[in-house]
Structure 1
Amino acid sequence: MSDLDKIFKAYDIRGVVPDELDESVAEAVGGAFVRLTGAKTLVTLHDMRTTSQPLAEALGRGAAAQGADVIHGGLGSTDMVYYASGSLETPGAMITASHNPARYNGIKLCRAGAKPVGIETGLVQLKETVASGVPAYDGDPGTISSTDLLPGYAEYLKKLVDLSGIRPLKVVVDAGNGMAGHTVPQVFEGLPITLVPLYFELDGTFPNHEANPIDPKNLWDLQNAVTENQADIGLAFDGDADRCFVVDERGQIVSPSVLTALIAARELAREPGATVIHNLITSRAVPELIVEHGGTPVRTRVGHSFIKATMAETNAVFGGEHSGHFYFRDFWFADSGMLAALHVLAALGHDERPLSALLSEFSRYCASGEINSEVHDQAAATAKVRDVYSARAGVRFDELDGLTVAGSDWWFNLRPSNTEPLLRLNVEASSEAGMAGLRDEVLGLVRGHD
């Protein structure tokens, strides 16, 4: 058995195949997951990596050996497993390593109703069962069947967003050779959209660029294609298509905070007074706009387990993260990049203005984006930054997640990585010059410390 401590992460299981994660591990995980959840039925999907289908089949064998009936959904996006888990009321498993390099693969799990499984909600027990050996099941094995979940998924998403009467749109989509190449044609079918596809060929070696749109260099091809084709909008998805990034008609990258504010306003128009979740590194404009549109903003730590838990506790209608994850109550509190994309297309299609003009009211501040610094003593570097700013008047601090420091028209958050010797910095200010000065000062303190 491989080193399970290495592959069991905070939110999923992920490692190099076959050295760290192989079919025997996947089979054991399938059996252990059935024992953990007591599932009578389990649904599986997998991405386009060459190792994904064999791992999905192995996981299914392990689940069936414990008496559960297994529904293999075949190729799909991560949000499709949430759809399957929610609509079928059964636990789900997605074989994917998202945007990781080709040599990796992984397993994302959810309980019935798309409820997340993370380190605090079952992964520890799962790892212990796999490590000690899954006990034999005293009963008949479950059945294994296959079904195509894509048409139902596409139909369900389009029921959640009013796309009737939208104007014709030219849309460039960069699938990054990932699962959006499989899902977008079905979801867009019947809409007045001229689709310009980039890298729709399913290829887990990612021959064109990493399927990780949070890195700006992976959006260059999309930006160029939008301007060359005079498109209305560009959409980019990560490898398992659960995150979505947007480029406007000028080829400019749209901040996920701006998308959070736009979708929040749309959801609040539908449900006045609702709660909307945002994490602490989204723009200050997000809570301002939520309040202005009659909603209640709730701030959380970074990370989908915190967002999902807080959404469930508050019955929030929507939640957004600066990483490009967007969560919807009507989608079982789970995240869906495709559903976020449909909201943006609906907003644009019902407005005669270009996307940049439509979004201008949701963009108020200048942001640095996330900047990583390798720092071996993260606590000492953070303490140094706090000491320097403590000596200044009118400065506020909070430590919900790392250190957040705020003034009248600026703020920054400095937080440690959970897995690497890195400090992550996000800065926002009312002017570009103010943001740049603040960014450079904090980076000087952080990097000068080590």
Structure 2
Amino acid sequence: HLPYNRNGFKFFTSDGGLNKTDIKDILERASRVYEESAHCGKQEQTGVVTHVDYMSIYASDLVQAVLKSAGNKEKPLEGLHIVVDAGNGAGGFFVDKVLKPLGAVTDGSQFLEPDGLFPNHIPNPEDKAAMEAITQAVLNNKADLGIIFDTDVDRSAAVDSSGRELNRNRLIALMSAIVLEEHPGTTVVTDSVTSDGLTAFIEKKLGGKHHRFKRGYKNVIDEAIRLVSLLFLHDSDCPVTCPMIPSSMKCKL
């Protein structure tokens, strides 16, 4: 979602994303290794590089999750026309590796090829031009639904068949309604900029709990994980969810 001249990297381990302190530690270690190798001369390489088609594994996991939720129906999205706007970010895989295997028609999907210069629009679901692009794609193709991703596919928004945006508070409200129907009393963790109206909807309309925390997707995820760990300590059923928390850290979800 940043301009092309500010592209960067995010680092993850099996325990989750790394923060600034972790990155600083990695850079300091790398610097020491470089200095030592420069003083000691060329050393024999002992590391091993393994190439893994992780995207196919990840996409397959998404497909299996949807199939399970749909009662293992073979093509749960059959008959639905869904267009995707990846904004030339990393989300183009979603069309061929997720939606099509689930039976959806995806004609009209656009900007699926990664291009770090973002020639069509910034891949940001909160950007006006980006939302106009996916809305127009839905209307032009008479699609049932449109989905737009940010650059690294950790944020998204949707557009319904009439062109109405399902974004920000609306999207979290929709997700909360789905989760709370299956798991009453769940705590929904979001960042601090969500609206009071969302809180009222989650708590008064749906009977859940809304826990707002400081901005930053990793802050929200870490807070949800912290709450989950506290609930584990109290031998709870662990009713906590977060729109961005890894599925491996969710309980009952």
How would you bin the TM-score normalised by the shorter chain? 0.7 to 0.9
Q: What is residue 113 of structure 2 aligned with on the other side?
A: 201
Q: What is residue 172 of structure 1 aligned with on the other side?
A: 83
Q: Is the 8 A contact 1:317 1:329 kept in 2?
A: no
Counterparts of residues 224-373 of structure 1 (less than 5 Å): 224-291=136-203, 292-315=205-228, 317-319=240-242, 326-332=243-249
Letter in 1 for 2:11: L
User: Residue deviations 1:421-450, cap 9 Å, x none?
Assistant: xxxxxxxxxxxxxxxxxxxxxxxxxxxxxx
Counterparts of residues 30-429 of structure 1 (less than 5 Å): 99-113=1-15, 115-120=16-21, 122-130=22-30, 134=34, 136=36, 141-161=46-66, 162-163=69-70, 164=73, 165-166=76-77, 168-195=79-106, 196-291=108-203, 292-315=205-228, 317-319=240-242, 326-332=243-249
Counterparts in 2 of 1:202 and 1:306: CA distance versus 1, 3 Å: closer
TM-score by length of 2: 0.78
Letter in 2 for 1:185: D
Q: What is the aligned-residue RMSD (CA, Å)?
A: 2.6
Q: Is the 8 A contact 2:92 2:114 kept in 1?
A: yes
Letter in 2 for 1:160: A
Q: What is the CA–CA distance in structure 2 between the aligned matches of 1:152 and 1:143, rounded to whole Å?
A: 21
Q: Is the 8 A contact 1:265 1:289 kept in 2?
A: no
The alignment partner of 1:173 has SS state of strand
Deviation at 1:170, TM superposition (A): 1.1
Q: What is residue 375 of structure 1 aligned with on the other side?
A: none
Letter in 2 for 1:177: N
The alignment partner of 1:180 has SS state of coil
Q: What is the CA–CA distance in structure 2 between the aligned matches of 1:202 and 1:140, rounded to whole Å?
A: 33
Q: Is the 8 A contact 1:287 1:297 kept in 2?
A: yes
Counterparts in 2 of 1:126 and 1:194: CA distance versus 1, 3 Å: same
Letter in 2 for 1:246: A
The alignment partner of 1:236 has SS state of strand
Name the larger-Rg structure: 1
User: Residue deviations 1:394-419, cap 9 Å, x none?
Assistant: xxxxxxxxxxxxxxxxxxxxxxxxxx
The alignment partner of 1:328 has SS state of coil
- Please, which moves more after superposition, 181-190 or 132-141? 132-141
TM-score by length of 1: 0.46
Deviation at 1:310, TM superposition (A): 0.8
Q: Number of aligned pairs?
A: 227
Letter in 2 for 1:170: H
Deviation at 1:312, TM superposition (A): 0.7
Q: Which runs of 5+ in 1 are unaligned?
A: 1-98, 320-325, 334-450
The alignment partner of 1:231 has SS state of coil
Deviation at 1:276, TM superposition (A): 1.4
Q: Is the 8 A contact 2:78 2:102 kept in 1?
A: no
Counterparts in 2 of 1:135 and 1:297: CA distance versus 1, 3 Å: farther
Letter in 2 for 1:272: P
Counterparts in 2 of 1:174 and 1:264: CA distance versus 1, 3 Å: same
Q: Is the 8 A contact 2:109 2:137 kept in 1?
A: no
Q: Is the 8 A contact 1:175 1:239 kept in 2?
A: yes
User: Residue deviations 1:186-211, cap 9 Å, x none?
Assistant: 01132231102111223222221222
Counterparts in 2 of 1:130 and 1:298: CA distance versus 1, 3 Å: same
